[in-house]
Structure 1
Amino acid sequence: MTLHRFQTLLPIARQRVAAIKKEVARIRATSTRLIASLKSVIAKDLTAFGRR
C-alpha cells in the first residue's frame, strides 16, 4: 500500500467511522428507550400479578 493510496483512503475511512459512530449512538438511544418501556411494562405486569 503506497502512501498516496493511504492518504486518499483515509478521509473515506474517517467518514465511515463517523457514520458508524452515529449509527451506534442512535441504536443505543433506541435500545435505552425500549428497555425503559419494557421495564415499565414488566413493573405493571408484576403489580397486577401481585394484586391477584
Structure 2
Amino acid sequence: MNTNLLNENALGALKRAEIQQLAKREGLRANGKTLDIIDALVSRHPDGVEP
C-alpha cells in the first residue's frame, strides 16, 4: 500500500484547482462544490487518492 495516498483531510488542504485536477484525472465531475468533489474522490478511493 502506498503511504502517500491523500485522505479526506489531505484533500481538504489542497487548493480547489488541485482537487479539480485530481477529479478530472479520475473521470469524475469537477465543477461542483469542492466538498462534493472531495466526497466523490473519497467514495471512489476509500483508502486514499494517488497524488
TM-score (norm 1): 0.27
Of structures 1 and 2, the one scoring higher in RCO (CA 8 A, sep 6+) is 2
More helix by share: 1
Kindly name which structure, 1 or 2, has the bigger radius of gyration based on alpha carbons: 1
TM-score (norm 2): 0.27
